[in-house]
Structures are given as C-alpha cells and as structure tokens.
Homo-oligomer: A and B are copies of this chain.
C-alpha cells in the first residue's frame, strides 16, 4: 500500500509544496482543512506536514497548540522552504496579455514592486488563498488573468505555466515545516530533539514562580528555539514550553545518553516532560 501524507491544504499551498519537496511523487497526498486536523490525521495516515514558523511572521500558534495535545506520532524531520512567489498564467499567455493579477492579499502585498514595475496598468484582486487564485486562472477561458502563487500550482492545476519566478519584493522569506510520522523512522544519528515541558506548581524552588533559568540549567543542553503556549489545564498563566535542543557533545555517540539523562533530571524536579521529536 502506498504511503499516505496529510498536509495543511488546499492543494497548491506552500505546505503542499514543502510536503512534495520532502516526499516527491512516491506518496498519496491527503489535504486537511486546519492544522489541528492535519495533526489528528496521524491517527489514520502515515505522515503529516505542518508549518512551524515563518521568518517574517514568527511561530505558527495553531501548530504548537496542536502539539500540546498530540495523541499519535512524533516529529521526525524539518523542511525549510524559501517562499518564492511565482507569476502563473494560462499556457501561452505573455506578460503583455495580463491586465489582471489575482492572489491572496498578503501575496499581492509582498510583490508590490514587481507589479508596479512590470505590470503597472494591471488591476489586482484579492482571493481567499494563493491556491484558489491559481485554480481560477486554470479554469479561465481567457489569457489576461495571472495568479501569484507557489510553484507547485502548475503541477496541481491544469493548463498553467510559470511566467516569472521569485517576484516577491523581499527575498528573505522562509518557512520551516515539521514532518511528523505516525510510526516515525528516527534517524539513529539524530542531532535535534523537541521537548514539551510543563512546570507543575510546586516544582520550582520558590514554590510559586516558574524560573526558566533554573529549568535550562537542569536541562543542561543547548536550547536553540523556545516557544510557550498556555498549558492545556484550567490553571491561569501556567505555560507549556517547547524547547528545541541540539547535540552539543563533541562525541556524537554520547548524545542520546545525554538527552536521556537530561529528561530524567527534569522529571526529578517534578516537571512533566516528553520528547515529541527527534531528527
């Protein structure tokens, strides 16, 4: 049976593109409407791909809220995608044919310079998503409408081609994605791990206030990213922390043991802690 991969849809999104860069054409893609549903798809599918953070907009809150209550599977890899907006047209259309450009408002905003210089007289219209814009162009009977969307749209929808690639004003727009597996294939020489840590009242020295400095001293590993979200409990202002730790040991062979000792130390201080990813 073919491997099945859930992703945040619809078809043609940048998450679809990230999933495709990772799994190529060897799998069956299953779109999901929300990040929560994508993560829950691991109950039945083999893999799931969700956005983790964008270099301009920051962490994706829905993903971390989903990871708070993840029931099945774990993170097994990460994909970084450069967000390259493309000007996509009906096959055969030239730049001089275009008098209308459609896309999500955010994408239109990110390509203002290109539009002003190369298509100064074209009108722009906002759509619900970049993928919806590509689909509309694909179904159009005329050559005068172009979409701003991801590269993968030209293989997802029919009769489309890329006229200009990388038309965004700002070149440093990247998104990181998590690849989760239902029964993950952990790389035995993994160097990164994601820890989910929730302090319990009473597990810190002062008995009332959580101290992150003390927690990191107890973990005693290199922490390269941190995110916090309200813990899934009714106690106000109790947070769950997501800590990405990396192997700092010169001897790579010692790292799994270091990680395991770190978890024991943190549990010993009364924190709830789980490893929810290794890659």
A residues touching B (Cβ–Cβ < 8 Å)? 53-59, 61, 170, 172-174, 176, 209-214, 216-217, 219-230, 234-237, 246, 248
Contact = CB atoms under 8 A, between A and B. Distances in A.
A53 B239 CA distance: 12
B222 A211 contact: yes
A222 B230 contact: no
Contacts of A222: 209, 211, 213-214
Contacts of A209: 222, 224, 246
Interface of A is mostly: mixed
A184 to B, nearest CB: 24
Nearest to A54: B230
Nearest to A245: B213
Smallest CB-CB A-B distances: 9 pairs: A55-B236, A212-B223, A211-B222, A172-B236, A213-B216, A174-B236, A213-B223, A216-B216, A172-B234
A53 B216 CA distance: 23
A55 B210 contact: no
Contacts of A219: 213
Given A58-B61, A58-B230, A224 B210 contact: yes
A203 to B, nearest CB: 14
B229 A226 contact: no
Nearest to A82: B236
A17 B222 CA distance: 42
Nearest to A53: B237
24 contacts: A55-B236, A55-B237, A57-B230, A58-B61, A172-B234, A172-B236, A174-B236, A174-B237, A176-B237, A209-B222, A209-B224, A209-B246, A211-B248, A212-B216, A212-B223, A212-B225, A212-B226, A213-B216, A213-B217, A213-B219, A213-B222, A216-B217, A225-B228, A226-B226
